[in-house]
């Protein structure tokens, strides 16, 4: 776990080592860049992240407060040179905010070339689950393949592609196994640790990551189930563990989530298709819906399924300020869950840095306490019933 | 509960109420009158069982026009609700359902109005119950808001995708009418044509109406004629000092016919608007006789307070002569040549770029500012909408590099609840006095 945690914390290290060995590194902003194509070309894909410690006011001149603070932080890190080591940066249409960030970055590169913004490309993946969108996406992926071939100066062969797909599928298979160890009923891995394991795959070469995860899983599988209220987290994407650590310090275990830096990262399988690109792109297109590119009912249905699958006892919706998409989902998500007797806690308009932690802890503590008391009283009733029998 | 939600009592709770603009143009008054009459007729048609669509502003409404399916544009209805000072009440209904106050409101106010248990109390007798919904997915909220419409009323929803260009054309406004095939990447047009064909089939099946290609061609021709008048009107206003009219008259005179584009009435209204402006110019009539400075209003209208603009004319001789509404009609709509459905796709495929994305919008805005002899820009920036901020840094830099100061007013376009009239007026007055050196 130490190596995985280190990769998660020192997010540029593996990329810089890769560069030092003469390799090319490509940044991916958004969760819809088909990294299989980059890996097939021998490039290292790394996910662009924010920095909760950064002073976001430095982004103010360029990007408005209508963008959620995580996106503002990602934007700031791109223009302040944190990613100047990238050979290229691919932005995907994973949210409206990222689409606009692409336009902003492209214009800054044109008009303020002194800013250390890497070479840019936009991958326009559509999210409506229609055939027209699927065919459009496949064509865009073929365009991307040609662009990548230009970057690496060679063709991506079918064998390259098949190997890359197999490598990514193996990585996702292991991460799905991790999800099984978080739930149902008897979690053996805490949520904060799971985020680190998953997140490390966004920075390490995938084979290396898979090797480390396999070792981690072997060990984790032997552990005793963890005590505590089992909570599911929805809402904004968490690319750091601060909130999970706070929740788990209140006597709960986060058994699953539906955001891009959690279990959704490994959702969906790339089918083997005549043209391998088709299977890869369909997986990104048709996997479970993300908060920003789906309808409310798609999100409600997916959330209910997750909560059932993970056997969660409660749900926390943790939403950053200005992150509108999950806020549109929330009222119906709450209604659906509460109608099934699953308690829900909304923590909205949150800062990226995680501030006012005393107040947050108080609310989470109270929520966890109510779940624990309910569980205890249900157990008592069960025991009483058994004794009457 | 319904008593608590009474709009009248809600209005009483509020000390401040927005000012309606004073219409000076015959064409603006006529357009408003027509709109009311059309709305009443539409209500009647819908009550008799005809289909009725709620659509977003950037949906190719020409399809519905061709099929004679009445529709209301989401943002237009929001603007009407806001101008009628109903936004606090309606948005309150949305908030009561658990949606937070600072969610995007321009695109959700109409939906909020649909939650009113007494819809007949709404503006103009209230919005009829829609039978179908169409939107383009130009931001994350669109699919969610329109699906909520769909579920609230049990009606079908047809989403149209939004695509992103990799190429940035130069001076797009010079290519839209005749060279639109060069302006947009073919794969973007191909997809939109396919989606429009799907929309036609969807409408044929859900409404039983038919789509006549002959009628569609006529709709497209009428629109081209209409937009040519808008272009002439825009050019006339740009070159005439003092301006014959300001944005308060321009907006209804251009936008109501725009919502009816593809009809003979809309063409006649655009012609009549042009002729009225031409007559004003010939007679030397000005919106503000003491015009001292010309301003540009960037962003959507301040719908709950359209009288806001006129205060600055009266006190400073500062005239808002430009808004997106007439300019976009003039530069972005006409399409000649090619297959008509593809031409229609090209009208909308890049509209998000033209309006909200740098450098598409910034270069056009600057061109327009120069043409209109603009000395200052007021940009309405809403921090609850990523579309509405439209790259404010790039706008500011583009104008200020050209020596044109910019004031950013932070406010929502329809939500009067957070508007501080005194403070906003003071900000704009300070801008006029300090940055533009105009004294009362």
What are B272-325's pLDDT values in tens digits?
999 999 999 999 999 999 999 999 999 999 999 988 999 999 999 999 999 999
In a domain, A6, yes or no: no
A363 at interface of B, judged by CB pairs closer than 8 A: no
| Integer angstrom CA distances of residue B368 from A88, B218, B389 | 36, 30, 19
- Asked if residue A255 and residue A134 are part of one domain, the reply reads no
> Does position A38 have pLDDT exceeding 90, yes or no?
yes
Tell me, yes or no, whether A323 and A376 share the same domain: yes
Q: What is the CATH number of the domain that holds A94?
A: 3.40.50.11890
Is the Cα torsion angle B353, B358, B364, B368 positive or negative in sign? positive
Is the Cβ pair A136, B191 closer than 8 Å? yes
- Beta A119-123 vs A88-92: how paired, if at all? parallel
Q: Are residues A346 and A200 in the same domain?
A: yes
Q: Which residues contact A270 (CB under 8 A, 6 or more apart)?
A: A36, A165, A168, A169, A279, A280, A282, A283
Hey, is the C-beta of B99 within 8 angstroms of any chain A C-beta?
yes
Residues A145 and A251 reside in one and the same domain: no
Considering the domain architecture, whether residues A115 and A155 belong to the same structural domain is answered as: yes
Pair A205, A350 in one domain: yes
* pLDDT at residue A154 is higher than 80: yes
For residue range A249-307, list pLDDT tens digits in order: 999 999 999 999 999 999 999 988 889 999 999 999 999 999 999 999 999 999 999 99
In the structure, what pLDDT confidence band is assigned to residue A322 with cuts at 50, 70 and 90?
A: very high
For residue A385, the model assigns a pLDDT of: 64
| Residue A47 included in any domain | yes
User: Whole-angstrom Cα distance, residue B90 to residue B95?
Assistant: 9
Stated length of chain A: 389
Q: Is residue A175 part of a domain?
A: no
Distance CA A213, CA B362 (A): 49
Q: How far is CA A52 from CA A246, A297, A319, A353, B34, in A?
A: 15, 31, 15, 4, 55
Give the range of the structural domain holding residue A126, as residue numbers without chain letter: 14-160
CA distance A347 to chain B (A): 12
A147 burial (CB, 10 Å; 0-12 / 13-18 / 19+) is middle
Nearest-neighbour CA in chain A from B336: distance (Å): 27
C-beta pairs of A336-342 under 8 Å, 24+ apart in sequence: A336/A300, A336/A303, A336/A304, A337/A303, A337/A304, A337/A307, A340/A304, A342/A307, A342/A312, A342/A313, A342/A314, A342/A315
Would A177 be classed as within a structural domain? no
**pTM to 2 decimals?**
0.95
DSSP 3-state of B266: helix
- Given A126, A160, A194, the domain boundary residue is A160
CATH number reported for the structural domain that contains residue A226 in this entry: 3.40.50.11900
B98 and chain A in contact, CB less than 8 A: yes
Which of B148, B166, B391 has its CB closest to that of A296?
Answer: B148
Q: What angle do CA A31, A34, A35 make, to 5 degrees?
A: 95
A200 shares a domain with A64 = no
Question: CB-CB: which of B140, B187, B383 is closest to A293?
Answer: B140
Which of B22-36, B125-139, B149-163, B347-361 comes out lowest in average pLDDT?
Answer: B22-36
Asked if B198's CB is within 8 angstroms of A132's CB, the reply is yes
Q: Best interface-test mutation with B: which of A56, A141, A324, A348 has the largest number of B CBs within 10 A?
A: A324
Task: Quick: pLDDT tens for B380-391.
Answer: 998 788 888 899
Question: Is A5 within a domain?
Answer: no
The b/e string for B303-340 (b: 16+ C-beta within 10 A; e otherwise) is: bbbbebbbbbbeebbbbbbbbbbbbbbbbbbbbeeeeb
Cα(B127)–Cα(A136) distance, rounded to whole angstroms? 37
Any domain includes A2: no
Confidence of residue A380 (pLDDT cuts 50, 70, 90): confident
Residue B12 has pLDDT above 60, yes or no: no
Residue at A176 is within a domain: no
Residues of chain A found within 8 Å of residue B381, distances taken between Cβ atoms? 64
User: B164 and A102: CB-CB below 8 Å?
Assistant: yes
Cβ-based contacts of A122 with chain B (< 8 Å)? 164, 166
Contact B78, B110 (CB under 8 A): yes
Interface with B, mutate which of A328, A335, A347 (most B CBs under 10 A):
A328
pLDDT in tens, B190-206: 999 999 999 999 999 99
User: B168 and A292 in contact by Cβ < 8 A?
Assistant: no
Residues A379 and A269 reside in one and the same domain: yes
- Are A210 and A284 in the same domain? yes
Overall number of domains in chain A: 2
Q: Say whether A66 and B168 touch across the interface (CB within 8 A).
A: no
A196 lies in the same domain as A238: yes
Question: Where is the domain boundary, A143, A160, A177?
Answer: A160
Q: Please provide the DSSP assignment of B331-362 as one string.
A: HHS---SS-HHHHHHHHHTTHHHHHHSTTHHH
Instruction: Collect all residues of chain A within an 8 Å Cβ-Cβ radius of residue B397.
Output: 111
Mean predicted lDDT score pLDDT of chain B: 93
Residues of A within 8 A of B139 (CB-CB) are 96
Same-domain check for residues A78 and A203: no
Q: Is A286 within the bounds of a domain?
A: yes
Residues A107 and A221 in one domain: no
């Amino acid at each position: 776990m130490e190596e995985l945690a280190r990769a998660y914390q020192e997010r540029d290290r593996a990329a810089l080592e890769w560069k030092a060995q003469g390799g090319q590194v490509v940044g991916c902003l958004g969760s819809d860049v088909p990294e299989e194509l980059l890996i097939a070309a021998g490039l290292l894909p790394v996910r662009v992240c924010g920095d909760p410690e950064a002073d976001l006011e430095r982004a103010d001149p360029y990007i408005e407060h209508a963008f959620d603070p995580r996106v503002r932080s990602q934007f700031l890190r791109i223009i302040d040179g944190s990613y100047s080591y990238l050979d290229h940066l691919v932005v995907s249409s994973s949210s409206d905010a990222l689409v606009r960030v692409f336009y902003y970055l492209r214009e800054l590169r044109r008009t303020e070339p002194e800013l250390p913004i890497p070479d840019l490309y936009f991958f326009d993946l559509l999210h409506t689950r229609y055939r027209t969108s699927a065919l459009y996406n496949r064509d865009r992926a073929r365009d991307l393949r040609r662009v990548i071939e230009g970057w690496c100066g060679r063709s991506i062969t079918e064998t390259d592609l098949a190997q890359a797909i197999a490598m990514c599928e193996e990585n996702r298979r292991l991460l799905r196994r991790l999800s099984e160890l978080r739930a149902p009923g008897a979690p053996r891995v805490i949520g904060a640790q799971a985020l680190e394991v998953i997140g490390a795959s966004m920075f390490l070469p995938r084979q290396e990551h898979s090797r480390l995860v396999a070792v981690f899983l072997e060990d984790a599988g032997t552990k005793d189930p963890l005590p505590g209220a089992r909570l599911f987290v929805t809402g904004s994407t968490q690319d750091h563990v601060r909130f999970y650590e706070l929740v788990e310090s209140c006597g709960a275990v986060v058994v699953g989530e539906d955001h891009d830096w959690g279990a959704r990262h490994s959702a969906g399988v790339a089918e083997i298709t005549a043209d391998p690109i088709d299977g890869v792109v369909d997986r990104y297109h048709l996997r479970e819906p993300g908060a920003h590119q789906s309808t409310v009912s798609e999100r409600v249905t997916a959330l209910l399924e997750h909560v059932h699958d993970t056997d969660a006892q409660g749900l926390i919706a943790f939403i950053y300020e200005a992150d509108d998409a999950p806020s549109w989902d929330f009222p119906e998500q709450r209604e659906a869950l509460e109608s099934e007797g699953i308690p829900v806690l909304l923590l909205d308009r949150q800062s990226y840095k995680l501030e006012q932690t005393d107040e947050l802890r108080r609310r989470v503590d109270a929520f966890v306490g109510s779940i624990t008391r309910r569980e205890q009283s249900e157990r008592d009733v069960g025991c009483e019933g058994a004794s009457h029998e | 509960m319904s008593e608590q939600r009474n709009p009248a009592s809600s209005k009483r709770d509020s000390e401040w109420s927005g000012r309606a603009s004073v219409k000076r143009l015959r064409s603006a008054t006529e357009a408003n009158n027509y709109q009311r009459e059309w709305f009443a007729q539409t209500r009647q048609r819908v009550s008799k069982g005809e289909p009725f669509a709620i659509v977003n502003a950037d949906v190719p409404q020409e399809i519905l026009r061709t099929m004679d399916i009445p529709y209301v544009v989401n943002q237009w209805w929001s603007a009407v609700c806001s101008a009628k000072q109903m936004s606090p009440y309606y948005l309150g209904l949305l908030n009561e359902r658990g949606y937070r106050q600072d969610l995007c409101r321009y695109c959700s106010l109409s939906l909020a109005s649909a939650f009113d248990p007494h819809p007949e109390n709404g503006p103009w007798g209230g919005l009829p119950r829609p039978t179908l919904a169409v939107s383009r997915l130009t931001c994350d909220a669109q699919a969610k808001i329109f699906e909520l419409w769909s579920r609230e009323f049990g009606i079908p929803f047809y989403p149209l995708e939004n695509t992103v260009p990799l190429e940035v054309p130069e001076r797009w406004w010079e290519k839209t009418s005749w060279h639109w095939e060069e302006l947009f990447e073919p794969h973007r047009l191909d997809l939109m044509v396919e989606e429009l064909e799907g929309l036609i089939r969807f409408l044929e099946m859900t409404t039983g109406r038919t789509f006549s290609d002959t009628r569609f061609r006529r709709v497209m021709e009428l629109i081209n004629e209409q937009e040519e008048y808008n272009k002439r009107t825009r050019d006339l206003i740009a070159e005439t000092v003092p301006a014959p009219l300001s944005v308060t008259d321009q907006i209804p005179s251009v936008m109501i016919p725009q919502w009816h584009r593809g009809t003979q009435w809309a063409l006649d209204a655009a012609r009549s608007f042009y002729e009225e402006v031409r007559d004003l110019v010939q007679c030397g009539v000005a919106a503000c006789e003491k015009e001292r400075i010309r301003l540009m209003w960037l962003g959507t209208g301040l719908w709950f307070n359209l009288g806001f603009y006129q205060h600055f004319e009266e006190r400073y001789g500062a005239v808002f002569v430009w808004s997106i509404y007439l300019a976009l009609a003039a530069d972005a709509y006409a399409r000649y040549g090619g297959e008509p459905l593809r031409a229609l796709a090209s009208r909308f495929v890049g509209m998000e770029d033209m309006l909200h994305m740098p450098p598409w919008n910034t270069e056009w805005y600057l061109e327009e500012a120069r043409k209109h002899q603009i000395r200052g820009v007021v940009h309405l920036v809403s921090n609850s909408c990523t579309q509405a901020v439209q790259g404010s840094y790039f706008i500011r830099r583009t104008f200020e590099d050209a020596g044109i100061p910019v004031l950013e007013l932070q406010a929502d376009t329809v939500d009067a609840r957070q508007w501080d009239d005194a403070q906003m007026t003071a900000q704009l007055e300070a801008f006029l006095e300090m940055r533009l050196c105009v004294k009362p």
